[in-house]
Amino acid sequence: MKNNVELKNGFLIFLGIGLFFLAMDFLGLANKNYLRALNAFIVLYGINRTIKTNLHNGVTNYLENFISGFKTGIIGVFLGIIGLIIYVYAKGGESYLSTLSETYFFIGKTNIIMYCSVLFFEGVASSLIGSFTLMQYWKDVVVNPKY
């Protein structure tokens, strides 16, 4: 059951990031780095839903909830990167990617593997930090489980 919550919320993260990116691209803002930072809030939302659901279902172990939240974030980020790869190739491949990476911190020409690797490690870091931060809040909150 816990895996279903992780998958559901990971997919919710994917949808949130995907819709946010599509909106940014539609508005011509996809190359604005500072707006990409908002992705972290989408990841935090999904992780928080997982931890909160686990607590309501009686899972109170700190490490178990931390790992569950982290897995949720990784699922969402991984699906988001797969979606980005498909979208980049649908929009023109490497030529479209160069417009996205102009404002990123790449020196010289980049490729899809390098770009997605950086995004993956960024996503892993935000999932790890987000899970830890949220667990600091949830570790002391008493939740009445559903019966």
Return all residues near 45 (Cβ < 8 A) that are at least 6 apart. Answer: 12, 13, 16
pLDDT in tens, the chain (147 residues): 557 999 999 999 999 999 998 898 889 887 777 777 788 899 999 999 999 999 888 888 899 999 999 999 999 999 999 998 998 888 887 777 776 655 555 556 678 888 888 889 989 999 999 999 999 998 887 666 554
Q: How far apart are CA 95 and CA 79, in angstroms?
A: 22
